[in-house]
Amino acid sequence: MMNRKARIVVLISGRGSNMVAIADNIDAGLIPDAEIVLVLSNKDDAPGLQIARERGLHTWFIRASSSFLERKLTREEYDEQLKGVLADYEPDLICLAGFMRILSPGFVQEYQNRILNIHPSLLPAFPGEDAHTDVLAYGAKVSGCTIHMVDEQVDHGPIVVQRTVPVHESDTKKTLADRVLVEEHIAYTEAINMVLSGNFEVVGRRFQLKEL
């Protein structure tokens, strides 16, 4: 048992609804003994960043380009900056919630088994940036979301939680995304509780809860 609250950092790039769901569920006591210590974005105009500020959460952004260097940062340079910021916040868990950057192997290794990502399909089906479009084009009858540990490959690490939804013939990308999003907000909380319990092991690709 930790004798302080578990420290969660949420990384976002956009509207931040998963970040809000995590914050709401902490406030509602559904993620006990935890706090969001930082919401960080790679975009200073991410709507989620403003929402986080309004609810009194610490926020930060790191741009992909450096005006000092007058160029885009390499992935490694970006992640070094990220590490520097995160070090001050001592995160127990980093939740990627619509964070549209791939993390370097060095970063992933530094926080091994402490980074979660959410992906809006049932991995390993439909990885990549436009999962809902791919699900509809393929004609899949079921979709959902996956919360997984982040490893060195994209949309790949051990699966912690999956939740499913039906795909309807009449679905558009928006109707499917909306249905999946409801499950995302539940799944992230489930996964965070599992990981923060510390009562798990990762065996090969398999995330498994230990018997108490």
Q: Which residues bind ligand GRF (CB under 6 A)?
A: 12, 14-18, 48, 97-98, 118-120, 181, 184
The CB-of-12 to ligand GRF minimum distance in angstroms stands at 6
Please name the residue that has the structure tokens 């939680």: 161
Interacting residues of 109 by C-beta distance below 8 A, sequence separation 6+: 152
For ligand GRF, the closer of residues 120 and 157 by Cβ is 120
Side-chain half-sphere of 46: how many Cα atoms within 13 Å?
27
Instruction: For the beta carbon of residue 55, count every other beta carbon within 10 angstroms.
Output: 13
Distance between CA atoms of residues 186 and 76, nearest Å? 33
Clarify whether 156 is annotated catalytic: no
Distance between CA atoms of residues 62 and 5, nearest Å? 26
CB-based closest residue to ligand GRF: 98
Token reading at 162: 């999956």
The CB-of-201 to ligand GRF minimum distance in angstroms stands at 26
Distances (CA, A) of 59 to 42, 77, 101, 196: 11, 20, 18, 22
Catalytic residue among 119, 132, 148, 185: 119
The CB-of-26 to ligand GRF minimum distance in angstroms stands at 15
For ligand GRF, the closer of residues 82 and 97 by Cβ is 97
Interacting residues of 93 by C-beta distance below 8 A, sequence separation 6+: 6, 7, 8, 9, 114, 115, 116, 192, 195, 196
The CB-of-59 to ligand GRF minimum distance in angstroms stands at 14
For ligand GRF, the closer of residues 104 and 143 by Cβ is 143
For ligand GRF, the closer of residues 123 and 196 by Cβ is 123
For the chain, what's the residue count? 212
Query: How are the residues of the chain apportioned to helix, strand and coil, as percentages rounded to the nearest 5?
Result: 35, 25, 40
In the DSSP assignment, the letter for residue 151 is -
For ligand GRF, the closer of residues 18 and 104 by Cβ is 18
The CB-of-97 to ligand GRF minimum distance in angstroms stands at 5
Active site residues: 119
